[in-house]
Chains A and B, each alone.
Chain A
């Protein structure tokens, strides 16, 4: 180990350092594949693979820099992610002119939720959106005087804000865990492990689906998803989580097993739920912001389910140990 790396490892913990190094190695392998495959089969169009890998470089660089920089940077980064995801959702959702006030209010949930993270107000964060935003939204719609499709539109706004803001915001909240409660790899290690496991599940599902996918699992929602991809992702990511949880998290044996079983399921559920919404609206991607991937919401769809699942398993067992 070169001496100049010691201060870096001291700052971000050894597991996070090696986790980021492994991510970089995987990214380099992906880049080599994206360069070599087009040479072997030049007839096929490889634009999507090339864009995908290039976008991964940008996304991973942003997240890694924020993880190293600390909670402030990660809070700003995910506030941006929540804003962009919510904007994509509200732009595609069937809204009307009378909803402008409610839509502005929905955006207000981003600075409120992440502001509560910044002041480290865990208890208020937990109720701000599911309680206060939940009851204020329908009242604002009443003030706007519109009753057409009332219940469906209230549900639509609440769904968008809970998935894009409340569920993703817990990632920034994880960075506020006192370092003593996550001695293995620090709060940044907790966040890294969530993101790594979720994205590994996405990639493994895709790769296993291409390799062994035959029978469709949800043909009316997501025609490209197969049993092979789902089970391959579940088993592969489950094993990865089970063996790496002691390295990154304070979870004991049985909670690690629970997380290993549930997180890949959560990722799959988040993915296909967003697919159902996109199918209903009639779009394939939520925007074209990230070349090769689609929109921000396409990229974080599984994360909107895995993040709260991971956060609350950690919170529950942290609570038990007091």
Chain B
């Protein structure tokens, strides 16, 4: 990891996430501390990535890799540099020709023992909503059956910076970490278990949402 990424995450990203969102974590003991592991979260805001990076202990941040859309984050050179060097994303292409393995960079990261952060909705939905989950995460779990999948519900980030908004508004958020889901041996049941676990975490989350 570039030393600048470490400094950026500790001295800029973490304080911003703290001031903007409070960065409260329920069940922080359940966060994976060794890779390979997959963290799966709902996605309503760009704040989600900063928030998740800020809840991991500083000493293992170099292992944490958010998976992000190549078509969105890698087109503009400045945003691309920032996303790859500072945030440390693992790019995934959305909508490419058949035959190409779009998950190759993600698989390489897991093979290195990294902790992948994945938003399987594939895009930011409306605040508080969870869109259907895309099955790419199941292909990763299938390829790395021993890597635990840790479900995380992020409550309230959609209010801080909803899709389409430019100015963030400080609002407390809560990150609820759940028990890991093991690879079930089959994609359908694995995705169903994941969805069920995320819905359960959402029900547990404190009432930090738009009415």
* Chain A residues within 8 Å of B, Cβ to Cβ: 83, 87-88, 90-92, 94-97, 100, 103-104, 107, 281-283, 287-289
Contact = CB atoms under 8 A, between A and B. Distances in A.
B22 A283 contact: no
Interface string B140-177: 00000000000000001001001001010111100000
Most buried by B among A83, A91, A107, A282: A91
Contacts of B24: 287-289
Given A87-B22, A95-B159, A96-B211, 19 more contacts: A87-B170, A91-B22, A91-B156, A97-B159, A97-B162, A97-B210, A100-B165, A100-B167, A100-B169, A103-B169, A103-B171, A104-B167, A107-B169, A283-B206, A283-B207, A287-B22, A287-B24, A288-B24, A289-B22
13 contacts: A87-B22, A88-B172, A91-B156, A91-B208, A92-B172, A92-B208, A94-B211, A95-B159, A96-B210, A97-B210, A100-B167, A100-B169, A283-B207
Contacts of B170: 83, 87, 107
B110 interface: no
Nearest to A100: B169
Contacts of B159: 95, 97
Contacts of B162: 97
B169 to A, nearest CB: 5
B89 interface: no
B51 interface: no
B13 interface: no
B127 interface: yes
- Judged by DSSP, the binding face of A is helix
A87 B22 CA distance: 9
B46 to A, nearest CB: 15
A259 B36 CA distance: 63
Contacts of A94: 211
B55 to A, nearest CB: 13
Interface in B179-211: 206-208, 210-211
Contact of A97 (B22, B127, B167): B127
A91 B169 contact: no
A90 B171 contact: yes
Contacts of A96: 210-211
Contacts of A103: 169, 171
Contacts of B206: 283
Contacts of A281: 207
| Nearest 6 pairs of A and B residues by beta carbon | A94-B211, A91-B172, A91-B171, A87-B170, A96-B210, A103-B169
A91 B209 CA distance: 8
A92 B159 CA distance: 12
A56 B24 CA distance: 20
Nearest to B208: A91
Contacts of B169: 100, 103-104, 107
Nearest to B26: A288
Contacts of A95: 159, 210-211
Contacts of B156: 91
A287 B170 CA distance: 14
A112 to B, nearest CB: 16
Contacts of B167: 100, 104
B171 A87 contact: yes
Contacts of B211: 94-96
Contacts of A92: 172, 207-208
A287 B156 CA distance: 13
A107 B165 CA distance: 18
Given A288-B24, A289-B22, A282 B172 contact: no
A287 B127 contact: no
A87 B172 contact: yes
Nearest to B170: A87
A281 B210 CA distance: 12
Given A90-B171, A103-B169, A282 B22 contact: no
A87 B208 CA distance: 11
A95 B24 CA distance: 20
Interface in B100-134: 127
A90 B209 CA distance: 10
B209 to A, nearest CB: 9
A107 B169 CA distance: 9
